[in-house]
């Protein structure tokens, strides 16, 4: 731990949640591929999902697409969404640092938000620890 963090006071934040609705329509200009398992991933919109909130999803990498396939085929998952920039911005410090997750996975039995950044696919849908 850095010396600064040892002595710095913890910030006091007032919890603020702004609930906004996602747009009911997403504009797609990509070719539509009905099989989400196909390659290449970039440049295509994929259909054929069972649990996604929108009919089509597109991805920046095959890892993102693989996470979507795991979520879509899991009996633990109610629904999922591949977010776009600006869909869900989480401000997490007084300085205004922001985090924009790529995915939200809604599990059937819990209310946990599953970030996809920095985790492997085997961890993506593992039960949370300490709950």
**Chain segment 39-48, per-residue pLDDT in tens:** 888 899 999 9
pTM metric for this prediction = 0.68
Predicted pLDDT at 56: 92
Buried-state track 104-115, b at ≥16 Cβ within 10 A, e below 16: bbbbeeeeeebe
* Residue pair 52/72 in contact by the 8 Å Cβ criterion: yes
Percentage, residues of the chain above pLDDT 70: 66
């Amino acid at each position: 731990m850095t010396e600064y963090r040892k002595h710095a006071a913890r910030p006091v934040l007032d919890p603020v949640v702004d609930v906004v609705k996602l747009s009911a329509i997403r504009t797609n200009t990509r070719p539509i591929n009905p099989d989400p398992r196909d390659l290449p991933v970039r440049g295509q919109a994929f259909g054929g999902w069972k649990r996604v909130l929108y009919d089509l999803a597109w991805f920046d990498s095959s890892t993102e697409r693989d996470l979507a396939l795991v979520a879509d085929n899991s009996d633990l998952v109610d629904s999922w969404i591949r977010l776009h920039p600006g869909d869900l911005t989480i401000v997490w410090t007084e300085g205004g640092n922001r985090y924009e997750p790529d995915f939200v996975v809604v599990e059937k039995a819990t209310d946990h938000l599953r970030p996809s950044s920095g985790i492997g696919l085997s961890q993506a849908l593992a039960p949370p620890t300490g709950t």
